[in-house]
Amino acid sequence: MRKTIVATSLAILLAGSGAALAEPSRLTVLIGGEAYDGPPRFEVRFNDTVLGERAVASAIDTATAGRFEAASDRAAHTESFDFDIPEAVFKPDGEISIRLVNEAFGGEGSDRDRNLFLAALSVNGRAVTLSGLSTKTDAGTRDNATVGEFLLIADGTVAGIAPAPAGGWPEPQAQSVAEAPSTPKSAGPSARRIPVSASREEPVAEVAAPAPAPVTAEAELTTASIAATSPAAAGECAGTRYNVLGFRENSNDLTPGIAERLGQVLADIGERRCTVEVVGYSSNDGLHATNALFALERAQNVAAFLRQNGLEAAEVKATGGGATTAFGPRPSENRRVVITLKP
């Protein structure tokens, strides 16, 4: 089954040679929707500060395609959105709220409605799924309405709430990426990890970095990217693809084997200035919402590593391909990142 997880503004800009990422706090929201006479829009706040408003463009059209609950592939109607949290606004104990801002309903019995379905969110790599979410109205907290592992936000009178987890949201400077093995200053590879216990991916020992192999199937992707400069000639970039395996269960860490593999990728790319597409995947085990987050963060960490260690790309695109079985029957075969060079 092909899955669509749309990730916007996912490439991580890096500067300097240190391992720390100097960037604002980053909130990633994974949310699905039902559309009626247009897609649902939602507003995100950190405490009392509005971070932005977005539309779930891939929401299922309730007038023509049915309801989210009955969809055979809910991931096709789920998107990932990034929001920056300004330094002056971020607090480790801050509360995140998400509210539907364009409610529409076709009337009793019509089955036409606009709704939101909040799957998960993460702040600076610390993820919260359904068990950490609550529902608030003006009168206070009420019981959650859920569809599978999604929190239902049915109208503008309720908000999906993510209070800070135990220990608080991590500071942005707590994020780090590994440096390439050839970099003398490296103190060992590390990267952002999403500590989500809801995933049930099977354990797998760390595997050796494989040689590049063709990808036999790819998820349909829609991405946004960061702009850059001077693309290489088409012949220098077209058709080059690298597979990066070795991700452990419930982890987005760049292990020593993965760091070694990425060092090989950087050496092979050399001075070519191509468009670089980085797509993360997870196995199909466990909840697809947390799997989608794992896929997303694996791509982000790899993109960060490549940038940190000297990649001179014309453009970098990083996105999550969601859960898949396209690469083989074993979960370990599907926990991977695919790097593709294009003109």
pLDDT band at 289 (very low <50, low <70, confident <90, very high): low
**Residue 208, exposed/middle/buried by CB under 10 A (0-12, 13-18, 19+)?**
exposed
**Both tokens of residue 191?**
């990267």
pLDDT at residue 287, rounded to an integer: 67
SS3 249: coil
Name the more confident of 198 and 265: 265
pLDDT(32) > 90:
yes
Backbone angles phi, psi at 224, to 5 degrees: -115, 165
pLDDT in tens, 192-229: 333 333 333 333 333 344 443 443 333 333 333 333 33
The confidence band for 317, taking pLDDT boundaries of 50, 70 and 90, is: confident
Reported as a pLDDT band with limits 50, 70 and 90, residue 72 is confident
Helix (H) / strand (E) element for 46: namely strand 41-46
Residue 181 has a pLDDT of 37
Q: What is the pLDDT of residue 235?
A: 62
- Is the pLDDT at 92 greater than 80? The verdict is yes
Residue 68 above 90 pLDDT? yes
Question: Which residue reads 């096709």 in tokens?
Answer: 76
Of 10-19, 34-43, 235-244, least confident by mean pLDDT is: 10-19
Q: Tell me the CATH architecture of domain 175-342.
A: 2-Layer Sandwich (3.30)
Q: Which of 13-17, 217-221, 339-343 has the highest average model confidence (pLDDT)?
A: 339-343
Stretch 8-35: mean pLDDT: 60
Stretch among 142-151, 207-216, 307-316 having the lowest mean pLDDT: 207-216
Supply the mean pLDDT for the chain.
77
Token couple for 8: 């916007």
Residue-wise pLDDT for 153-189, tens only, equals 999 999 999 999 999 998 885 443 333 333 333 333 3
Ranges of H-type helices in the chain: 234-237, 256-269, 288-308, 331-334
For 165, the token pair is: 């987890």
pLDDT at 61: 96
CATH topology for 25-162 is Lipoxygenase-1 (2.60.60)
Return the minimum-mean-pLDDT range out of 91-95, 176-180, 313-317. Answer: 176-180
pTM exceeds cut of 0.85: no
Q: What pLDDT is recorded for position 227?
A: 32
Task: Provide the pLDDT confidence category of residue 259 given band limits of 50, 70 and 90.
Answer: very high
Instruction: Give the residue-averaged pLDDT of 301-317.
Output: 88
Apex 304 CA angle, 217 and 186, nearest 5: 120
Cβ atoms of residues 10 and 224 within 8 Å: yes
All structural domains of the chain with their residue ranges: 25-162, 175-342
